[in-house]
């Protein structure tokens, strides 16, 4: 059984290595004028003009059979949403292949170290969830950047409305002037409207791509104003000011809770530091935690309690504004 697992791991490793090499090669190839001219010539060809489609087709992997499988799989829909919200350039298929590979590698490593079955399965699950955690981290970074850019973008839209421009022109100005990610998202809304998509639907599509409560407030305000009327510029200005005040309150709360967060870090890191120091001073004494069955059980229970305690302390110091 172990030989089969090793062979399967080697096969999946080679497959992922080839996929990674292809992704790195595509990223390193310069996208200069020659490639642009090549695309224009290809698209302007008579036989290719009839094949153009204005509908955006999503590609989850460069491997055809894997792309077709992922497009039909419904269980990975949350992962697809996370990948879309993170705006990750790496194909989703690479993450889907990496999850079982890392889980298998973690399980084989744990079994080779004679770790009990329950901790080995826990380690395999933790290793397999690393790609999803990475996507979640990318999403958090992108959403935080979007929230910081949103007040300035709303004020730009408001100034465009006060100058007599249409609302879609304000979206276009944000797409041209603002940096990504908010510039890219507003530019995409403007392009969808220009292609014939209704403005409410285009704004709703943006809320599906961006997990931001403030953006939902903005979209709801615009839709309500279209139904009931009112001064849209004043509504957007009020919303931008409210978002700025909330940011100031968040910074004040973060400063007041700094002591609690530092205490949580010390309480979580102190056992690890003391354990590592004792292991360096007396390896035989601390080695019982990894060789003796009772020591392994105590280490497992202690690690689980530390994780639970860290989660509880994080909930205590995380104050929502």
- The predicted pLDDT at position 177 comes to 86
Segment 74-80 mean pLDDT: 75
For residue 55, pLDDT beyond 50:
no
DSSP secondary structure letters along 192-235: HHHTT--HHHHHHHHHHH---HHHHHHHHHHHHHHHH---HHHH
- How many residues can be counted in the chain? 321
For residue 52, pLDDT beyond 80:
no
Task: Kindly report the average pLDDT of the chain as a whole number.
Answer: 78
The more confident residue out of 171 and 30 is 171
Burial classification of residue 279, based on how many CB atoms lie within 10 Å of its CB (0-12 exposed, 13-18 middle, 19 or more buried): middle
- 8 Å CB contact between 98 and 13: no
Q: What percent of the chain has pLDDT over 90?
A: 2
The more confident residue out of 201 and 62 is 201
For residue 4, pLDDT beyond 80:
no
- The predicted pLDDT at position 119 comes to 76
Burial classification of residue 118, based on how many CB atoms lie within 10 Å of its CB (0-12 exposed, 13-18 middle, 19 or more buried): exposed
Segment 89-110 mean pLDDT: 83
- The predicted pLDDT at position 71 comes to 61
Segment 22-45 mean pLDDT: 51
Segment 103-123 mean pLDDT: 81
Segment 13-28 mean pLDDT: 62
- The predicted pLDDT at position 95 comes to 81
pTM to 2 decimals? 0.66
- For the chain, how big is the Rg over CA atoms in Å? 26
- The predicted pLDDT at position 53 comes to 39
Give the distance, in angstroms, between the CA of residue 32 and the centroid of all CA atoms in the same chain: 29
Nearest to 318 by CA among 241, 253, 239, 244: 253
- Report the run of H or E that residue 9 belongs to, with start and end: helix 2-28
For residue 57, pLDDT beyond 60:
no
For residue 42, pLDDT beyond 60:
no
The more confident residue out of 89 and 162 is 162
Query: How is residue 119 written in tokens?
Result: 């901790």
Tokens 């509908």 sit at which residue?
55
275 confidence band (pLDDT: 50, 70, 90) = confident
20 confidence band (pLDDT: 50, 70, 90) = low
Q: Which of 15-19, 26-30, 43-47, 78-82 has the highest mean pLDDT?
A: 78-82
- The predicted pLDDT at position 31 comes to 45
- The predicted pLDDT at position 288 comes to 78
């Amino acid at each position: 059984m172990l030989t089969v697992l090793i062979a399967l791991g080697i096969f999946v490793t080679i497959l992922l290595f080839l996929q990674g090499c292809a992704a790195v090669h595509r990223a390193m190839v310069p996208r200069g004028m020659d490639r642009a001219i090549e695309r224009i010539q290809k698209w302007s060809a008579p036989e290719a003009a009839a094949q153009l489609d204005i509908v955006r087709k999503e590609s989850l992997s460069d491997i055809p059979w894997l792309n077709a499988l992922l497009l039909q799989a419904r269980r990975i829909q949350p992962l697809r949403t996370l990948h879309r919200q993170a705006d990750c350039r790496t194909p989703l298929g690479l993450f889907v292949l990496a999850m079982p590979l890392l889980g298998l590698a973690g399980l084989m490593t744990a079994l080779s170290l004679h770790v009990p079955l329950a901790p080995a399965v826990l380690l395999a699950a933790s290793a397999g969830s690393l790609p999803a955690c990475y996507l979640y981290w990318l999403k958090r970074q992108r959403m935080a950047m979007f929230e910081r850019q949103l007040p300035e973008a709303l004020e730009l839209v408001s100034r465009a409305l006060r100058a007599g421009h249409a609302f879609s022109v304000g979206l276009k100005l944000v797409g041209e002037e603002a940096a990504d990610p908010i510039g890219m998202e507003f530019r995409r809304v403007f392009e969808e409207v220009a292609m014939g998509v209704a403005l409410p639907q285009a704004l709703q599509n943006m809320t599906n791509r961006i997990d931001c409560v403030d953006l939902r407030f903005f979209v709801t305000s615009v839709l309500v104003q279209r139904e009931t009327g009112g001064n849209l510029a004043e509504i957007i200005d009020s919303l931008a000011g409210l978002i700025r005040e909330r940011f100031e309150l968040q910074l004040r709360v973060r400063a007041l809770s700094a002591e609690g967060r530092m205490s949580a870090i010390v309480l979580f890191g102190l056992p690890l530091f003391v354990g590592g120091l004792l292991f360096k001073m007396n390896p035989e004494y601390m080695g019982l935690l990894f060789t003796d069955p009772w020591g392994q059980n105590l280490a497992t229970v202690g690690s689980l309690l530390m994780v639970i305690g860290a989660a509880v302390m994080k909930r205590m110091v995380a104050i929502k504004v």
